Amino acid sequence: HVQDAIFRVNEDARIIYANDAACQQLGYSIDELLALTIPDIDPDFFQDAWFPYWEELRRIGWKRFESRHKRKDGTIFPVEITTKHMGFGGNDFCLASVRDITQRQEVERKLKLNQFSLDNTGDSIFRTNQDARIIYVNNAACQHLGYSKEELLELSIPDIDPDFSIDVWTQFWGGLVNSGRVRFETRHKKKDGSIVPVEVVSSYMEYDGNFYAFASVRDISERVTADRQTKQIGRAHV
């Protein structure tokens, strides 16, 4: 009555035992399952692949891997399988615990998509800890400052912002913790030493007992230049 599907399989890949969860997972009755072999329910396990697998399992004792199972109605879903070689009464068999990982893979897919989006968004993204150490940057941040990702992860905010000493950072961190989110303009220093004006939107985050500042940074050089030109024109008219 365990929730994972349990199978006992002999050396010929015949299913010789299946629990209730296995029947529910695959949509077969117990009698139907006991008439099948592993290749009947696993499209990735051809008959010729079973015997090398069996010999390896008997040699190392147990294995964990991901595969796919096919239900009676033909639908295919991803599974994680933990198998163990056992001997009882002079017979060898494989005991397999099978878990449907459809939801887990969907969560992983969404996380990978979110990470991909973050890595490739147009604005520079930085995640720093409370000591001002840079612990994450996206591709745009590297292009913006001219550093490799590995180089940036060795730096802290004072290394890339001439207006942010450690003392200034300490004051900033306290304000960020209290407000949760701040928007401000500052300057960033590139690897080649050039200085560019930037607009920063920084948010305070707490996750798994750790505290972070998550910052989105936009180069505002064009905007600053346009504002300066507008002011010069205004003064000239006066």
pLDDT tens per residue, range 98-135? 999 999 999 999 999 988 988 898 899 999 999 999 99
Higher pLDDT, 92 or 89: 92
State the first-to-last Cα distance of the chain, in angstroms, to the nearest integer: 87
In DSSP terms, 210 is beta-bridged to 207
Pairing mode, strands 181-189 and 124-129:
unpaired
Position 23 pLDDT exceeds 70: yes
Q: Compute the distance between CA of residue 85 and CA of residue 62 in angstroms, rounded to an integer.
A: 6
53 phi, psi to nearest 5 deg: -65, -45
Burial of 16 (0-12, 13-18, 19+ CB in 10 A): middle
Of 21-25, 70-74, 110-114, 155-159, the poorest mean pLDDT is in 110-114
Of 11-25, 52-66, 221-235, the poorest mean pLDDT is in 221-235
- Residue 178: predicted pLDDT: 94
Neighbours of 202 (CB within 10 A): 21
